[in-house]
A and B are shown apart, each in its own frame.
Chain A
């Protein structure tokens, strides 16, 4: 049994010391998840706090099957979704036709020319409705059906929001690439 398992078992018994240990072990990473989804730090802190309370009150349900971090991340993301739905009770955005990308564009955007903080900044700059769908789909592996269900929107709306988010990110990447090229020259 790993040290993490011991901590989890102690948390299941409600031991405060173990709860603090678990918090210290995962709070940084989970805070990062919240920051990716939320518009600012204050909102991310609220989600982190609420998410950890849920983790501690539901930890007795964890059966040591699969990754604990994955289980915890799912709870945190669900907390963010709940918060998002409370603040935006209406649908994220109306459906609109997908805009095809021009074939002439190059794939250089995918090259790892950007730091983690730059990419994080790009996601933060997305409109909330696009950021939420993109994070769920690209970073957390939700399907459009799951996203539609979680955010109470149609599958079409989910797809269109993802498409628009990608377009926004692509434009941002291209603009930054252009700036970098000019800086090199």
Chain B
């Protein structure tokens, strides 16, 4: 039987081996068209791949520049360079000065820096008692009273605890916030599926990000300055300027996708949110400098902002107290420029869980992704900024250790060989609850980041 089967097989094999027939002419025409289309597709693919590479490099480069700048500024300390009066003070009580440059760009020695740090603390002469009294109570005032503020005489970079002048404080009002946040996302690389239909993708991504308060209402001026009292200044105008924070974000993602258009992903992201606050007002020192009609512009650094109240570090309080006790100059000049401001930052580790849907599966692949994230607080810092110098002065009080956020992204992916993909994804993130546990503060940041990265297909 086996032999007979072989005979049947051989009969057909030998007879049909050379079998041929002329195909219709239309077949070649179709082949030719398809080859042309293939060539065009290759060109488009190359274009998109180059574009994606450029975009990813741009995003990573921007992130590195931001990171570099942040590193530089955080090593600086406050240096005042607006005054020529030099006084020596006890070094133990002075704030450390790590900056090597004044605002005029001239390098300073350590001794010079210390001297300058104690210079030109200007306070109204009629307010000496108030100032001192206030300083002595600073622990209670700073940590419990929302009306307290650090004040800087314009451009000098030396904090003075704010006095209880009602005119000054009550006029400082929050402005409506409009923030734009960019934050990087960790883009995961791809991987093969454990089964035939499931793929695992791992990715890393980074993004410059900008975050700002999404809630329209920060703290109200009434709450902030409720205990303002005496009228030592005759205030004429006041302004608070709260700005969002530019930083970098990034991390790692893992995605599970199958043959359908849906996929699920999670990961491990780092992000930083926060704001900078600058407030100033002008006043007529009619009750401070007798006989003077000059209008002075003071720079006050508010401790009580939309994100929450700054709890000052002990050494900052001591420094300030010493400064105030030793240095009570008269306010004799009018200042017109100041860059002093506070910055409050919150750093989070984010664990996202999101769903992605491919809306276009060609080149590039376009998808939309949405989900929620748990954000665990890992950093809480407040800084005082004068020009390019930045000094840590404490942290924001009552910040929740865990907050939740939602996100929405539009992802573009381009294959880079068989195992890699370029990824570029603008992503919007919104905090679902306030970061501050105090009901007086409603700070729900919105951030926008453009995440660039590479995805590895694991299986």
Residues of B with C-beta under 8 A to A48: 23, 27
Closest to A123 in B: B12
Closest to B26 in A: A45
User: Does B30 lie within 8 Å of A32, measured CB to CB?
Assistant: no
How far does the alpha carbon of A86 sit from the alpha carbon of B169 in the complex, in Å? 77
Residues of A with C-beta under 8 A to B38: 53, 57
> How far in angstroms is the closest Cβ of chain B from A13?
13
User: Does B34 lie within 8 Å of A53, measured CB to CB?
Assistant: yes
Given contacts A110-B4, A138-B9, contact A35 B21 (CB under 8 A): yes
A2 within 8 Å of B (CB atoms)? no
Stretch in A60-68, A88-96, A112-120, A175-183 with 4+ CB within 8 Å of B: A112-120
A125 within 8 Å of B (CB atoms)? no
> How far in angstroms is the closest Cβ of chain A from B29?
10
- Chain A residues 1 to 34 lying within 8 A of chain B, measured CB to CB, are 14, 16, 19-20, 23, 27-29, 31-33
How far does the alpha carbon of A19 sit from the alpha carbon of B34 in the complex, in Å? 13
B106 within 8 Å of A (CB atoms)? no
User: Does A49 lie within 8 Å of B19, measured CB to CB?
Assistant: no
- Chain B residues 11 to 35 lying within 8 A of chain A, measured CB to CB, are 11-13, 15-24, 26-28, 30-32, 34-35
Most buried by A among B12, B18, B26: B12
How far does the alpha carbon of A135 sit from the alpha carbon of B245 in the complex, in Å? 70
How far does the alpha carbon of A107 sit from the alpha carbon of B3 in the complex, in Å? 9
User: Does B7 lie within 8 Å of A137, measured CB to CB?
Assistant: no
B337 within 8 Å of A (CB atoms)? no
User: Does A120 lie within 8 Å of B24, measured CB to CB?
Assistant: no
A56 within 8 Å of B (CB atoms)? yes
> How far in angstroms is the closest Cβ of chain B from A78?
17
A130 within 8 Å of B (CB atoms)? no
Closest to B3 in A: A107
A67-84 contact mask (Cβ, 8 Å, vs B): 1 or 0:
000000000000000000
Residues of A with C-beta under 8 A to B140: none
Residues of B with C-beta under 8 A to A120: 16, 19
B71 within 8 Å of A (CB atoms)? no
Closest to A115 in B: B15
Closest to B10 in A: A110
Given contacts A49-B30, A101-B1, A119-B16, contact A166 B22 (CB under 8 A): no
User: Does A32 lie within 8 Å of B21, measured CB to CB?
Assistant: yes
A157 within 8 Å of B (CB atoms)? no
| Residue of B7, B9, B19, B20 touching A107 (CB-CB under 8 A) | B7
A109 within 8 Å of B (CB atoms)? yes
Given contacts A31-B23, A48-B23, contact A139 B12 (CB under 8 A): yes
B333 within 8 Å of A (CB atoms)? no
> How far in angstroms is the closest Cβ of chain B from A50?
8
Residues of B with C-beta under 8 A to A56: 31, 35
Residues of B with C-beta under 8 A to A23: 28, 31
| Residue of B4, B12, B32 touching A119 (CB-CB under 8 A) | B12
How far does the alpha carbon of A107 sit from the alpha carbon of B39 in the complex, in Å? 55
Closest to B22 in A: A28
User: Does B21 lie within 8 Å of A110, measured CB to CB?
Assistant: no
B22-56 contact mask (Cβ, 8 Å, vs A): 1 or 0:
11101110111011001100000000000000000
User: Does B5 lie within 8 Å of A166, measured CB to CB?
Assistant: yes
> How far in angstroms is the closest Cβ of chain A from B160?
75
Closest to A116 in B: B15
Given contacts A27-B28, A32-B21, A101-B1, contact A137 B9 (CB under 8 A): yes
How far does the alpha carbon of A116 sit from the alpha carbon of B3 in the complex, in Å? 22
How far does the alpha carbon of A121 sit from the alpha carbon of B1 in the complex, in Å? 24
Residues of A with C-beta under 8 A to B18: 29, 116
Residues of A with C-beta under 8 A to B16: 32, 36, 116, 119-120, 123, 139
How far does the alpha carbon of A53 sit from the alpha carbon of B24 in the complex, in Å? 16
User: Does B34 lie within 8 Å of A29, measured CB to CB?
Assistant: no
A169 within 8 Å of B (CB atoms)? yes
How far does the alpha carbon of A110 sit from the alpha carbon of B1 in the complex, in Å? 13
A170 within 8 Å of B (CB atoms)? yes
Residues of B with C-beta under 8 A to A100: 1
> How far in angstroms is the closest Cβ of chain B from A125?
13
> How far in angstroms is the closest Cβ of chain A from B454?
26
Given contacts A31-B20, A31-B21, contact A110 B7 (CB under 8 A): yes
> How far in angstroms is the closest Cβ of chain B from A111?
8
> How far in angstroms is the closest Cβ of chain B from A167?
10
Residues of A with C-beta under 8 A to B8: 109-110, 138, 166, 169-170, 173
* With A109-B7, A138-B9 already in contact, 15 other A-B pairs whose C-beta atoms are closer than 8 Å: A16-B32, A29-B20, A31-B22, A33-B19, A45-B27, A48-B23, A53-B38, A103-B1, A107-B3, A107-B4, A138-B13, A139-B12, A139-B17, A166-B5, A170-B8
A sample of 30 cross-chain residue pairs with beta-carbon separation below 8 angstroms, ordered by A number, consists of A14-B39, A28-B21, A31-B23, A31-B27, A32-B16, A32-B19, A32-B20, A32-B21, A36-B19, A45-B24, A45-B27, A49-B30, A52-B27, A52-B31, A100-B1, A101-B4, A103-B1, A109-B4, A109-B8, A110-B8, A110-B10, A110-B11, A116-B15, A116-B16, A116-B19, A123-B16, A139-B16, A139-B17, A166-B5, A173-B8
